[in-house]
Structures are given as C-alpha cells and as structure tokens.
Chains A and B, each alone.
Chain A
Amino acid sequence: DTAVSQTPKYLVTQMGNDKSIKCEQNLGHDTMYWYKQDSKKFLKIMFSYNNKELIINETVPNRFSPKSPDKAHLNLHINSLELGDSAVYFCASSHRTGGIGTDTQYFGPGTRLTVL
C-alpha cells in the first residue's frame, strides 16, 4: 500500500561513521529525488535520478553518494558523517511528463539523521 518508503526512519550515529538510507517507490515512477530538510525546515534538493541516470547533482559534499540500482530504488550513502549532516532526509518520486519542473512529487516519510 505504501507509495514511497524509506528505511530507517531514525538514524543516530557517531561522527566519522558511514551510513546508508534506502528508498523504494511502488508508484511506477521513473524519477526519484533526495532532499535535505534542515532544522530551520528549509527543503533543498540534493540529487535526482531519471531511469537510473543522474540528472540533478547539487553542490553537495562528495561524502554523499547516491545510487539507483533500478527505477524503483534510490539509496543515499554518506561517508565520514559530520555534525552538520544532522537533518531529515526525504526521498521523493515523480512520473516524468513535461519535465521535473511540472511533475508532481510524492515524498517518503523521511529519515531523521542525528550525528553525535
């Protein structure tokens, strides 16, 4: 029944560790996204994939590496975690029609990452 799902929902870890967040969508969409929402609630796009191809790669530290094994999955791996990485990370998906600027995005429940 779930449309866009993420695991884990909460992630608490120490500085310097490496962690991954997984995202899956069962909507049949071909475009997926990673967003970061900081403590001030600003929602910023990090990456986007269309049919497993990276189409948006914002100015994000190269410690963040997305990977899309297939259209329905988009994972985010973060190396050497820093305090400033603490945020809520949202995965989203959309069906490409006129372009990502016109497509409706459906968000997952989010992963709250806390780096200690």
Chain B
Amino acid sequence: QQPVQSPQAVILREGEDAVINCSSSKALYSVHWYRQKHGEAPVFLMILLKGGEQKGHDKISASFNEKKQQSSLYLTASQLSYSGTYFCGTAQAAGNKLTFGGGTRVLVKP
C-alpha cells in the first residue's frame, strides 16, 4: 500500500519554511526522499533508516518516527531551486521494494 503524502501542494515565498509529511499504514524500515523537477528524473535527497535518525542535506532535513510510521521533510529558508515535486518512497524491510507516495508539489516564489 502506498504511503500518503501531505500536503498535496504548497506555495512558498523565498526564505519561508515548509514541512512535507509521509505516512504509512504499515511498519516501515526505511524512507527515501526524492525531488523531481518538471520533465526531469527524480533526484535522491536522503534516506532514513529504522531508528528515528534525522538527516540533513543543505537546508533540507528529514526525520523518521518509526512508531508513528511517518517521516517529515523540512524545507528551511526555501530557495527558488527547491521548487519541484517531492516524493517519499518507503520500504517495509531491507529487502523490500520502494513504494512511492503521490508526491507534494512545491512552488517557491521570489
């Protein structure tokens, strides 16, 4: 079953912050975050493994709460380059395939 992402879309001004959530109805082993710009391939941002660790990539960070079966992606002091669709991909075990959420469209305006 695919994870649910919220919100579906968000519009930001440069410098503002946003949070994207990814929730699953099943226990998770890992959560992967990707960003896809229009007409391009999804690009890997970060992976979080079971253990609740938080990771960062420039001013983009993420957390993973395995008890709540959810992950959150934090866009801090957003830049124009952050615009795109963000996908979470989840796996229930180390050897399982990734199942992707429906995506969250982010538009950062000047």
Contact = CB atoms under 8 A, between A and B. Distances in A.
Interface stretch (B17-25, B64-72, B95-103): B95-103
Contacts of A110: 40-41
A42 B98 contact: no
A80 to B, nearest CB: 26
Contacts of A43: 42, 87, 89, 100, 103
B91 interface: yes
Contact of A101 (B2, B41, B95, B100): B95
Nearest to B103: A41
A40 B102 contact: yes
B102 A100 contact: no
A48 interface: yes
Nearest to A90: B41
Interface residues of A, number: 23
A107 B42 contact: yes
Interface residues of B, number: 27
Given A90-B42, A102-B49, A105-B32, 18 more contacts: A41-B85, A43-B89, A43-B100, A43-B103, A44-B100, A45-B97, A58-B97, A98-B94, A99-B96, A101-B92, A101-B98, A102-B29, A102-B94, A104-B32, A104-B44, A105-B98, A106-B44, A109-B40
27 contacts: A40-B102, A41-B85, A41-B103, A42-B100, A42-B103, A43-B100, A44-B100, A56-B97, A90-B42, A99-B94, A99-B96, A100-B91, A100-B98, A101-B29, A101-B98, A102-B49, A102-B94, A104-B32, A104-B47, A105-B44, A106-B44, A107-B34, A107-B41, A107-B42, A107-B43, A110-B40, A110-B41
